[in-house]
Amino acid sequence: MKFDTIIIGGGLSGLISAIECARAGRKTAIVSAGQSALHFWSGSFELLGNVDGKAVIDNPLDLVPSLPAPHPYRKIGAERLRKLLSRVPEILKEAGLKSYGTLDRNHLRLTPLGFMKPAWLTLGDYVAVDADKPLPWKKVAIVNIYSYLDFYPRFLAHGLENRGVKCSMAAVNIPELNVLRKSTTEMRATNMSRFFTDEAVDHLAAEVNKVAGDADAVIMPAVLGIYSDAPVERFRKAVKMPVWFVPTTPASVPGVRCQLSLRDLFIRLGGEFLPGDTVKGGEFEGNRLKRIFTVNLGDMPLEADDFIISTGSFFGHGLIADIERIYEPVFGLDLNVKGGRTEWYEKDFYASQPYMTYGVITDDKFHPYKNGEEIENLYATGALLAGFNALKEGSGAGITLATALHAASCITE
């Protein structure tokens, strides 16, 4: 079967590049081996939140030249990054997701443990505040759902009280949720969110109004709006003060929402999404990848002019570490791994771990190499790439999105 572009990996990076390729009129397919790391999403995208251990607020793109040389941001360059990344809110909007944030200045998002971390884009309903101003509330009500264990009001209260906000804590219940408690393991954000529709939303709002007292705002776990904004809008109208959400333990409601919204946009643009299939390998002719083989399609390969590999890092199985080696399992692409197992990590858990920077090495256009030979019609994007520590830098989403958009623009322009 022949396509113009095939993307291996159906997470954030794969979806974004696929959407841009399909929009440009290219016959595009995504092969996705199971659902993606987006299901763990916090509701915020980071661009560059930390350099040399210091939080970055103003003009994060100005710091790009100071990043270590093989860094993906350095390959793209600050000016082009600005152009590429300014597309992201537009794509999210088209998919039905409203977001907040600007490339010139990071805001702070509230983490589930009550910390404030720099972020670039945050979904409209999630806590995002200006870094230099006092928090916009004097008193908040942190309202949990009764017997829901994946949300930690005390941590949040601690964090907010340190910033001078008075906090009250309460848990509410609505009878509609009682059926869910029959199975003790299933009081999860995504399961609950299915029950918060129509009148159940009004009932929840009534309970929240009862406990919120005279708070300026209500902070709640992200348990509404898995399939659309409608329950969130209905809820916000019915609660007497502004409502903000904080992400929960996965599977994450904003994550599922984002995954499904982007997938649906891709399909609306004419794309083919092949779920639950794994690419086993490919056939090369010279420096070009001609076709790939998948587990489900067996002896019927998928052909394309261009390919993008966005299979993620260790967590997404884009990289595999066994006892002896680290490798890229689809094509055996060249990696920047140095030394044996004992050199992959630092014994201090909190230190900058070398393995975090491992990934596929590429040229400046993100073409990867296999046995030292560049593959000219294959692009590597997202967490699979080498040369950055997403955790320490607070840069994972920015790199994922920028490299995806970069690859898509190289293919379509």
Partner 1 sequence: MMTLQQQNISDNNFESCIKCTICTVYCPVTAVNPDYPGPKQAGPDGERYRLKKPLYYDEALKYCLNCKRCEVACPNDVRIGDIIQSARIKYGRHRPSLRDSMLADTDTVGTMASAFAPIVNFTLGLKPVKLLMDTFLGIDDHRTFPKYSSLKFESWYKKNAAEEQEKFDRKVAYFHGCYVNYNYPQLGMDFIKVFNAIGIGVMLLDKEKCCGVAKIANRCVKDATRDAEINLKSIREAVGNGMDVMLTSSTCCFTIRDEYSHVLKLENSDVRDHISLATRELFRLVDEGKVKLVFRKDFHKRVAYHVPCHMEKLGWGIYSSSLMKMIPGLDLVRLDPHCCGIAGTYGFKKEYYNYSQAIGEPLFRQLLESNLDSVATDCETCKWQIEMSTGLTVENPISLIAQALDIEATRAANKAGI
* Closer to partner 1 by Cβ: residue 133 or 182: 182
* Closer to partner 1 by Cβ: residue 70 or 250: 250
Q: How far is the CB of 254 from partner 1 (least distance, A)?
A: 13
* Closer to partner 1 by Cβ: residue 15 or 116: 15
* Closer to partner 1 by Cβ: residue 12 or 116: 12
* Closer to partner 1 by Cβ: residue 113 or 300: 300
Nearest to 263 by CA among 99, 28, 42: 28
* Closer to partner 1 by Cβ: residue 63 or 187: 187
- How far apart CA 350 and CA 360 sit, in angstroms, is 24
| Distance (Å) of CA 407 to CA 15, 274, 310, 377 | 12, 20, 11, 10
Is residue 335 within 8 Å of residue 361, measured between CB atoms? yes
* Closer to partner 1 by Cβ: residue 245 or 366: 245
- How far apart CA 61 and CA 156 sit, in angstroms, is 30
- How far apart CA 171 and CA 152 sit, in angstroms, is 11
Q: How far is the CB of 11 from partner 1 (least distance, A)?
A: 9
Paired strand residues for 330: none
Q: How far is the CB of 218 from partner 1 (least distance, A)?
A: 26
Q: How far is the CB of 333 from partner 1 (least distance, A)?
A: 20
- How far apart CA 214 and CA 202 sit, in angstroms, is 20
Q: At what angle do helices 396-412 and 78-85 cross, to 10 degrees?
A: 90
Q: How many CB atoms lie within 10 A of CB 365?
A: 13
- How far apart CA 307 and CA 301 sit, in angstroms, is 13
Match 């379509």 to its residue by tokens.
412
Q: At what angle do helices 396-412 and 12-23 cross, to 10 degrees?
A: 30
- How far apart CA 404 and CA 385 sit, in angstroms, is 11
Q: How far is the CB of 295 from partner 1 (least distance, A)?
A: 8
Q: What is the DSSP string of 46-97?
A: -S--EETTEE--B-GGGGGGGS-TT-HHHHH-HHHHHHHHTTHHHHHHHTT-
Match 């399961």 to its residue by tokens.
191
Q: Is the backbone of residue 130 left (phi > 0), alpha (psi -120 to 50) or beta?
A: beta
- How far apart CA 132 and CA 342 sit, in angstroms, is 43
* Closer to partner 1 by Cβ: residue 173 or 278: 278
- How far apart CA 102 and CA 167 sit, in angstroms, is 29
Q: How far is the CB of 219 from partner 1 (least distance, A)?
A: 23
* φ, ψ at 294 (rounded to 5°): -120, 165
Q: Which residues bind partner 1 (CB under 8 A)?
A: 1-2, 33-37, 39-40, 179-180, 182-183, 185-186, 188, 190-191, 194, 250-251, 256, 264, 267, 272, 274-278, 294-300, 316-317, 322-323
Q: How far is the CB of 329 from partner 1 (least distance, A)?
A: 12
Q: Is 28 helix (H, G, I), strand (E, B) or coil?
A: strand
Q: How far is the CB of 129 from partner 1 (least distance, A)?
A: 30
* Closer to partner 1 by Cβ: residue 233 or 272: 272
* Closer to partner 1 by Cβ: residue 11 or 101: 11
Q: How far is the CB of 270 from partner 1 (least distance, A)?
A: 10
Q: How far is the CB of 193 from partner 1 (least distance, A)?
A: 10
Is residue 221 within 8 Å of residue 195, measured between CB atoms? no
* Closer to partner 1 by Cβ: residue 164 or 276: 276
Q: How far is the CB of 61 from partner 1 (least distance, A)?
A: 32
